[in-house]
Amino acid sequence: MQTLEAASIQQFQCAFANFVATAGVLSGEYWVSNGFVDSHPWEWRGVVQIKGAPGSCPTTRGATSLGFYTPMQQARFQVDDLFERVSKFTDEEVANRQRMLTEARAYAGYAYLILGETMCDMTINNGPKMTSQEVWTIAEQRFTEAITLATALNDASLKNMATVGRARAGGGRGKLAEAAADARLVPSGFVRTAEFSTVNQGRENRVWSLTIANNNLSVAPPYQTLTVNGQPDPRVKVLNAARLGADNVTALWRQQKFTTATATIPIASYAEAQLILAEASADETEKLAAINRVRALTNIAPLVGPVTDDIIIEERRRQLFSEGQRYVDMLRKKLPFQSGTNRKGQTYSDLTCIPLPDVETQNNPNLKG
């Protein structure tokens, strides 16, 4: 059981890193700066190519392919399977059984949540097509179970992780009062991260690998020189490498948020909870206070109200840079994607959400024909 536990969480961490990198390219946080064809379609959003690229967990640092559907579905299955298997034993038979059950539900919630947020349609275990609302409902159920289990276990980290997730899922479903109530419960200083290792190259932080170790992605212009109050914005740290990428076209700008192979990536945090609260609360004073609590985390001067939806989205764009959140915000707020022709002469498509990949539609009996 300990092996299954470690494997399922490691699978989620791989899938999550793939999601963050892929979402960064889709949302225009990053431009592709390499010369390989397997990552370019994710920038210009080629429908046929993306359907053929469900993604996988890389085994080498130099891998340039993107996509997260297959690894996230594998993670979803593995953590659900872990829960079912562990449930059949007793606490006496399996050490740390309650923690395993709690982890399984919390990480499953995020797997369902991310797939529901990003896919045009979803399916589970060769089932029929599902809407985002249906997937978010399952995510909420997983998070609620995790909160109950974590409360009994007295595990604050897993409880807060699931609480942020349920707030995010509730906001997606339009349950703003419930989302705000959950967000208020998350304490200052909380962060739950995906962890990485140098035990092998496949376990390294994928964003670091793509942006720093191999120069395959470059921070795009809208994030290169952001300022706040006349100073560089500390939430979006970037470095001008003063050279072109491997494609000899793209100016190379390196993100400075994840600067080592073992740098962690936030899955859920107090900052995100406060930004959810700013969006979901009906109280204008509370909305402004939530925004300013987040700004205070990096010593940025407070804003003066009123707080508009545009202000909240911009604060989210900066605070949650390179965490996969911008792509989700663009989809749920129907923000404009990159259009026209890029610097390489590639034409952006009108794709926004991710269609089910060919490997699913051609093999799922409920989707054939």
Residue 369 has what pLDDT?
A: 55
Residue ranges, the chain, pLDDT below 50: none
Instruction: Please state, in angstroms and rounded to a whole number, the distance separating the CA atoms of residues 338 and 330.
Output: 11
**pTM, to two decimals:** 0.97
204: tokens are 């390294």
1-217+339-362 CATH, one of 3.40.50, 1.25.40, 3.30.2000, 2.30.30 = 1.25.40
For residues 247 and 144, the answer to whether their CB atoms sit within 8 Å is: no
Distance of CA 149 to the CA centre of its chain: 24
CB under 8 Å to 67, separation ≥6 — which residues?
18, 22, 42, 50, 53, 54, 55, 56, 357
Domain ranges of the chain: 1-217+339-362, 279-320
Nearest residue to 117 (alpha-carbon basis) of 327, 337, 357:
327
Residue 71 has what pLDDT?
A: 97
CB under 8 Å to 34, separation ≥6 — which residues?
64, 214, 215, 216, 217, 245, 246, 247
The residue assigned the tokens 């349950």 is 175
CA–CA distances in Å: residue 140 to residues 179, 269, 345: 11, 17, 43
With 0-12 CB in 10 A as exposed, 13-18 as middle and 19+ as buried, what is 284?
exposed
pLDDT in tens, 220-234: 999 999 999 999 999
Instruction: Please state, in angstroms and rounded to a whole number, the distance separating the CA atoms of residues 208 and 21.
Output: 9
Residue 124 has what pLDDT?
A: 97
